[in-house]
Amino acid sequence: MHCLLLASNRDDDDGTVVSVFISDLKKKGIHECEVWTIDAEGHKQWERCKKNPGHLQFIPAKQFSFEHLPEAFRDEEVTAKLVVKYTSLDRPPGYPFHNYGGTDIPHTGSGFLYCYEYDEIYEYFDLNYMFCPCPECKETDAPRRQWGYVSVYTAKHVVYDTSEAEKTIVEVNFNDDNQDSGVRILYGINAISVSNQEEWTIMECVTHDRDLWVKLYKTYSYLLDLKDRVHEKYWESPSRLCLIVSHPHGWIKQVTFGKWIKRRVLQVDGNGDELSAYAYDTATCKGSSGAPVLILGMRGAQNGHRTWLSRHHVHSGYKGKYNVSGVESERNVEPDDQADSDGHGSG
C-alpha cells in the first residue's frame, strides 16, 4: 500500500488528507469499526457517541425517502434503490486490531451484499448436492441441503482473512430497534478475495432462507441495471453528492449524505483507468467501516477526463475533519461507452 502511494502521480484536488489516512491506516489503525465490550451494545454506544452527538445527520433507512435528497436528485425511479443495501455487522476481531489477536472481543462493521447470477435460481438453492458448510450445519447430524451463497463486500480491516470470516455473523434487515422483526442471519465461511492494495475483502456467506436469497439476487440484478441508468442520467452533472448506508455503532441501518471534498488518484494504468480514493463530509461513526460509499456525478474534471465506477468504494475511517474511503478502480470511459456490469458491487 505504501509503494502505491509513493507512485501517485495526480490529485484532482489536494489529496493530502487521503494519502495520509491510507498510510496511517496500516501503521496506527485509524478505522471506524465499533468494538463491543460486555456492557457496550449498539444502542448504548449510539447514545454515548462523541463524534456525532445526537446523530442529527443520520436518517434511519426505514424512514428514508427521495425527499431527503437535494432537490436536483429527487427522481424517485433513480434514488429509490440507491439506499437499498443489506449491511453486515457483528464482525469478529481483526486487523488493524493486532493487539487483540487471538481474542474473542467482537467488533462490528458494515458491508454490501450481493448474489451472483445463476441460470436456474430456484433449482440452484433447492437442489444443492453438497451439505451446507455453515457452523450450525457442521455441528448437527442433519445438515441442510437447501442453502445458497451470498457475498459481502466490506473493508479488509473489518474482516481480515478466512479465520475471521469463519467467526463472523451478518445481520440482514436490521432496520428498526426491534431486532426480532425481520432480522436474518448469514454465516461467514470464507474470505474469497482480499485486496492488500485496495483494502477490501469479499466474504462468502451462506443462508438457509430461500426467500431472502431470492430477494438479494433480484435486488442485485436490479441495481446493476440501475447503475447504468444513473450513470447515463448524471453523466454531465457537476454534483459531488456522496451517500453512505451503514450500521453506525452496530445499531439500526442509517443513511447519510453530503459531498465528496477531495479525490486522490493513486495509480493510472495504460488504459487510463484509475485507482482512486475519496475524502468527504458525509457523516459516519464507528461501525460504518466497510459501508458502501456511493458517488454521483462527473469525477475526473481535468481535460474532459471522466471515469465510471464499476463498483462502489467502501468507507474506511476518518482523518481530521474528513471521512475517507478505501481505494477502488475507476474506468476511463467515453459518454457512449457501455459500463461493465460484472463488478462486485453497485456504485
pLDDT of amino acid 195: 67
Average pLDDT over residues 191-202: 77
CA–CA separation, 281 and 195 (whole Å): 26
CA–CA separation, 324 and 129 (whole Å): 43
Task: State the Cα angle at 342 between 339 and 347, rounded to 5°.
Answer: 65
Phi, psi of 26 (to 5 degrees): -70, -40
CB 285 within 8 A of CB 55: yes
* Structure-model confidence comparison of residues 87 and 51, the more confident one: 51
Average pLDDT over residues 180-189: 80
Query: Does residue 285 have a pLDDT over 90?
Result: no
- pLDDT tens digit string along 123-163? 556 666 688 888 889 899 999 888 888 888 888 888 888 88
Average pLDDT over residues 93-114: 72
* Structure-model confidence comparison of residues 46 and 248, the more confident one: 248
pTM of the model: 0.74
Average pLDDT over residues 45-67: 60
Average pLDDT of every residue of the chain: 68
Domains, in order of start, for the chain: 2-332 (2.40.10.120)
pLDDT of amino acid 323: 93
- pLDDT tens digit string along 218-244? 777 777 777 777 767 766 677 788 888
pLDDT of amino acid 60: 63
Query: Does residue 308 have a pLDDT over 80?
Result: no
Average pLDDT over residues 99-114: 78
User: Model confidence at 281, in pLDDT bands (50, 70, 90)?
Assistant: very high
